[in-house]
Amino acid sequence: MTERFNEVSKRDSHVDEKILRPSSLEGKVKETMHNDLWDHLKEQLSAVPPDFSCALELLKEIKEILLSLLLPRQNRLRSEIEEALDMDFLKQQADSGDLNVSYLSKYILNMMVLLCAPVRDEAVQKLENISDPVRLLRGIFQVLGLMKMDMVNYTIQSLQPHPQEHSIQYERAKFQERLHKEPSLLNHTTKWLTQA
């Protein structure tokens, strides 16, 4: 039983991002919706004066993702992100037309460098070369999605020994309980093992 649990645990101890085939209906719908979102953001930022409503929503979501990537003991970074991406302050800047999306994107990239797994360093570095704020935000979301998957996998792997230990204790307790009910079970088990 424990071997089966270990086998299942190893197989299930990694989560991959669901990749949709572009030719599938779901893939086409998702791609169309994403393109519409980014086109809408581009229109808003290009307007005179710029409309930052969509950008604010995206920045709010980015802030939530960054905070979700932090470990409980990373209080200093949590405070820094809360201060740099203070939505009330950003809304005031947007209302006065002073919201600097490019500057905030660069701040977000710097934070991503601190929080990402080494395997994501190259992806973040590629984002640093993008000057268009819409393409940059889109790239940030893509890499943040990968970083979230990395964090999920890290969490699963770090918690894996706990269920295994509980499984062993559970199996021992159940065997002992059954042994109390049927003392002859041990004789049958011994006989079976001897024959095997």
pTM of the model: 0.70
- Please give the pLDDT value at position 2: 37
Percent of the chain's residues with pLDDT above 70? 86
Q: Average pLDDT in the 48-60 region?
A: 94
Q: Average pLDDT in the 134-151 region?
A: 93
Taking 80 as the threshold, does the pLDDT of residue 109 lie above it? yes
Q: Average pLDDT in the 55-82 region?
A: 95
Report the alpha-carbon distance of residue 92 to residue 70 in Å, rounded: 27
Q: Are residues 187 and 195 in contact, defined by beta-carbon separation less than 8 angstroms?
A: no
Q: Work out the end-to-end distance of the chain between its first and last CA atoms, rounded to an integer number of angstroms.
A: 18
The overall average pLDDT reported for the chain is: 84
